[in-house]
Each structure stands twice: as structure tokens, then as C-alpha cells.
């Protein structure tokens, strides 16, 4: 049982980074999800965590944010306007087991003999600079002109420890334990709340991240793969989500990125439909979570949901994702286009505290053996602990696909 719980760690650790600023809302949520592939064999996929965000912690200008998973804790103390200049700061710490595990997936197959366990710890310092504060006396956003534009700078020091799994090949040499420095800078106009389905959201953002290690390191079979001394990532996202006409909901996003000197740990990884499974979820339904490793890509996602019946407790939804990508060599495939679609049905309790969703998805171009196509089923549940569940939950119409990590690889931070 303990071993099973340890698998439920990676997707959590990025779930809240997507906000990209100090969260002003009080939140207390429990999230659980699990998916099962119907073809092939991938790492156990799922998440389970408690998320707590508390504005006014000790002092009115402090915000405490915690994410607690079975074997991992990630937290940040946000400090609002310490110098009265619309500049916020965040001090973060994170650590625990299985967060840095790596699963090798090539051409639709999980190579367990080349996969291994990783544990990690991290300390970070972030700066959030608001570039367009509201006019004096205005307290609420009234138009698109008022949507916040932020500059975000995050510095993090991360240490990883690697261990063999029971199935790691005896002659496969693990990477040495490593110390890394990450720096991220970005501009974000608007943003998306760290929820399964916000009522409305708009975002246009652009990002750079540099990852620096002490030197280039060879590992694997006779040094046939390496970890680069430095890798650079550039990406951007445009997103819109809104409710309309009798609680129908639609969300559309376009994400694209390019990498310089990538390796297996820094390449963009696409696949699955875990909406809270990564800081910027690169979802292609029906695939294993993060099945595809890319040097550059363009990805479009669409989701549409509609209530069933007059009570609107039941919902039906459809969604899809399509990406054109250049694979990271040597994790290559002959196809540049990868597409997936899915359907789901969900139910929300009368007090909106509980919500569950079950779904089916089809990876149209996923490679499984000598043919294309894969199927997945999944379930996700959410519970809102605030005010006994009377606080309205967002309607969760997403479902999860296989998570190739075996620890929730980064729940949050910014």
C-alpha cells in the first residue's frame, strides 16, 4: 500500500504554478484522480493532494500556500507590497520522495529497465511585479483594459537524488545526484485560476527558463545519454475560458515552445489530459501523461461542456487536442502530428461540495506496438472544504490520462 501511495506524487507539484502570482482567494480543496490505459502498459497515473491557500496569514499582507501529497510537501509564503510598489515576493520550499522520478517512454513503450526513482528538495525566491495597477480609487476590474499584466521572476535551487527501481537494468548507470539552478522570467496578461474549470479566464503569456548544472554528465548504457550543463526553454500560451447560455462552458488554448540544448529532463513533454498535472499542461487526450518528448511544438486544446437536464447537476463534455512537434532525438516517432479526443460525464452534489467525473479518451496517433491508436478511461473527484462545502465549486469536466511519473513531480510554486 505504501508503494502504491508513493506513485501518487508527481502531477501535484505543478498544479498551482499556473496562477503565476500570489493567489488572493481563500481555498481549501481535496483533489483525487486516476486513469487507466486500455492498451499498453504505462506507469501508474493519478494524483491525490490537499491544497490550502490562506490570505491574511498572521498579517494582512502575508499569504500562505501549501500543497500536501502523500510523500511530498510544497509551500510558499507570499508577501504583498512590502515596499508599497506593486511588487510582491514569494519564499518557497519543497521536498519529498519520488518527485524527480524519470520514466523512459519511446515509441509508445515504457522502458522500465531504463527508468528510475528520484527524490528532491528545492528552495525558491520569486518576484511578482504588477505593471498596470488600477487607477486610484478603483478596486475592481471592469474591462479588459484592467486585466493585470505582470512580470514574474523566479529563482530556484533544486537538488535531486536518484535510486534504482526494482526493474532498473543492472548495467544501466544512473545519473549522479545533481544540484541545479533554475531561473524563469515571464510576462503574463490575465491568468487562469488553479481550478479544474474556472467560470471565466483569459491569458496571454510569454516565458523563458534557463536550467544550469555544474557540468554535462553522461549516464545510461555506456554513457549513451547525457544531462546537459545548461538548457534553455522559450514558450508562450494564449487561453480563453467562459460560461455562457445556461451554464454551457468552453475553453480554448494554444501553446507553443522551442528549446535550446534540451535533454531528457528538460525537453517539452506532451500527452494525456491532466489539467492540473503540469504548470502548463500540454494535453493530448488518450496518450500516457507526458508520453512525447519534443524540442519544439505547437499545441491546440479545446473543451466544451453542456448541462444535462433542468437541475444542471449532470454534465456532458467533449474535448480534443492536436499538436505538431519535432521530437527530441532519440525519443523519435515518424509522425509529427499527434491528435486525441474524448468524452466525459460528470455530476455535482446539490451543495456543490462534491464533484466527480468519469471519461473515455482516444489517442488517435498514439503508437502502441505495430499500430496507431490508444484508449483510456479515468475518474476524477474534487471536494471543497471551505464553509462546509457551501462555496461554489467550479464544474470539473476534465478527466485524467496516464501519469508517467511515479511521484507528483511538482505540485506548485510559481
Three-state SS across 41-106? CCCCEEEEEEEEEEECCCCCCEEEEEEEECCEEEEEEEECCCCCCCEEEEEEEEEECCCCCEEEEE
Q: Looking at residue 399, what is its pLDDT? A: 30
Of the two residues 204 and 312, the one the predictor is more confident about is 204
Residues 112/122, Cβ–Cβ less than 8 Å: no
Q: What is the mean pLDDT of residues 365-376?
A: 93
Q: Looking at residue 408, what is its pLDDT? A: 34
Q: Looking at residue 403, what is its pLDDT? A: 33
Q: Looking at residue 273, what is its pLDDT? A: 83
Residues 15/412, Cβ–Cβ less than 8 Å: yes
Predicted TM-score (pTM) of this structure: 0.85
CA pair distance 166, 89, nearest whole angstrom: 42
Determine whether 26 is exposed, middle or buried from the number of CB atoms within 10 Å of its CB (0-12, 13-18, 19+): middle
CA angle 376, 379, 384 (to 5 degrees): 150
Q: Looking at residue 387, what is its pLDDT? A: 57
Number of Cβ within a 10 Å radius of residue 176: 13
Q: What radius of gyration do the chain's Cα atoms show? A: 21
Q: What is the mean pLDDT of residues 285-290?
A: 90
Q: Looking at residue 301, what is its pLDDT? A: 97
Q: Which residues pair with 129 in a beta bridge?
A: 87, 151
- The torsion angles phi and psi of 4, rounded to 5 degrees, stand at -65, -40
Domain boundaries defined on the chain:
2-133+146-389
Average pLDDT of the residues of the chain: 84
Residue 68 predicted with pLDDT over 50: yes
Of the two residues 204 and 96, the one the predictor is more confident about is 204
Residue 349, CA distances (Å) to 127, 132, 248, 378 in order: 39, 40, 18, 20
CA pair distance 327, 324, nearest whole angstrom: 10
Q: Looking at residue 398, what is its pLDDT? A: 32
Q: Looking at residue 3, what is its pLDDT? A: 36
Residue 209: which H helix or E strand, with range? strand 200-213
CA pair distance 292, 268, nearest whole angstrom: 8
Q: What is the mean pLDDT of residues 134-156?
A: 80
Cell of 374: 490508444
Q: Looking at residue 391, what is its pLDDT? A: 41
Query: What share of the chain in percent tops pLDDT 70?
Result: 86
From the options 3.30.70.141, 2.40.160.50, 3.40.50.1950, 1.10.460.10, give the CATH code of 2-133+146-389.
Answer: 2.40.160.50
- The torsion angles phi and psi of 13, rounded to 5 degrees, stand at -75, -10
Q: What is the mean pLDDT of residues 133-140?
A: 70
Q: Which residues pair with 50 in a beta bridge?
A: 30, 68
Of the two residues 39 and 93, the one the predictor is more confident about is 93
For residue 401, name the pLDDT band (cuts at 50, 70, 90): very low
Of the two residues 403 and 218, the one the predictor is more confident about is 218
* Three-class HEC string of 288-331: CECCEEEEEEEEEEEEEEEEECCCCCEEEEEEEEEEEEEECCCC
Q: What is the mean pLDDT of residues 298-305?
A: 96
For residue 238, name the pLDDT band (cuts at 50, 70, 90): very high
Amino acid at each position: 500500500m505504501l508503494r502504491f501511495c508513493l506513485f501518487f506524487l508527481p502531477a501535484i507539484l505543478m498544479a498551482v504554478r499556473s496562477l503565476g502570482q500570489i493567489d488572493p482567494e481563500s481555498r481549501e480543496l481535496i483533489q483525487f484522480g486516476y486513469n487507466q490505459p486500455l492498451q499498453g502498459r504505462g506507469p501508474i497515473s493519478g494524483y491525490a493532494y490537499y491544497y490550502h491557500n490562506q490570505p491574511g496569514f498572521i498579517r494582512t499582507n502575508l499569504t500562505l500556500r501549501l500543497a500536501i501529497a502523500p510523500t511530498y510537501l510544497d509551500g510558499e509564503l507570499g508577501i504583498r507590497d512590502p515596499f508599497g510598489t506593486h511588487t510582491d515576493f514569494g519564499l518557497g520550499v519543497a521536498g519529498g520522495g519520488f518527485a524527480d522520478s524519470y520514466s523512459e517512454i519511446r515509441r509508445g513503450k515504457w522502458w522500465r529497465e531504463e527508468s528510475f526513482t528520484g527524490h528532491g528538495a528545492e528552495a525558491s525566491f520569486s518576484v511578482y511585479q504588477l505593471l498596470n495597477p488600477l487607477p486610484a480609487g478603483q478596486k475592481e476590474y471592469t474591462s479588459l483594459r484592467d486585466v493585470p499584466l505582470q512580470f514574474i521572476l523566479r529563482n530556484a535551487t533544486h537538488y535531486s537524488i536518484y535510486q534504482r527501481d526494482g526493474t532498473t537494468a543492472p548495467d544501466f548507470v544512473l545519473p549522479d545526484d545533481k544540484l541545479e539552478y533554475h531561473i524563469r522570467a515571464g510576462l503574463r496578461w490575465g491568468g487562469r485560476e488553479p481550478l479544474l474549470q474556472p467560470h471565466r479566464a483569459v491569458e496571454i503569456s510569454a516565458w523563458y527558463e534557463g536550467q544550469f548544472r555544474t557540468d554535462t554528465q553522461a549516464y545510461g548504457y555506456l554513457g549513451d545519454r547525457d544531462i546537459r550543463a545548461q538548457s534553455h526553454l522559450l514558450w508562450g500560451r494564449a487561453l480563453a475560458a467562459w460560461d455562457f447560455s445556461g451554464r454551457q462552458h468552453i475553453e480554448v488554448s494554444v501553446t507553443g515552445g522551442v528549446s535550446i540544448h534540451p535533454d531528457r529532463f528538460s525537453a517539452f513533454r506532451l500527452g494525456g489530459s491532466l489539467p492540473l498535472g503540469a504548470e502548463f499542461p500540454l494535453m493530448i487526450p488518450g496518450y500516457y501523461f507526458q508520453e512525447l518528448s519534443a524540442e519544439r511544438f505547437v499545441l491546440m486544446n479545446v473543451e466544451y461542456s453542456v448541462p444535462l437536464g433542468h437541475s444542471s447537476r449532470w454534465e456532458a463534455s467533449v474535448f480534443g487536442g492536436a499538436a505538431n512537434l519535432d521530437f527530441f532525438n532519440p525519443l523519435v516517432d515518424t509522425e509529427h502530428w499527434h491528435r486525441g479526443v474524448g468524452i466525459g460525464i460528470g455530476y455535482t452534489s446539490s451543495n456543490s461540495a462534491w464533484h466527480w467525473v468519469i471519461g473515455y479518451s482516444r489517442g488517435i496517433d498514439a503508437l502502441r506496438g505495430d499500430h496507431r491508436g490508444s484508449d483510456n478511461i479515468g475518474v476524477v473527484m474534487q471536494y471543497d472544504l471551505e464553509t462546509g462545502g457551501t462555496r461554489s465549486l467550479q464544474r470539473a469536466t476534465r478527466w485524467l490520462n496516464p501519469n508517467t511519473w511515479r511521484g507528483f513531480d511538482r505540485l506548485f510554486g510559481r
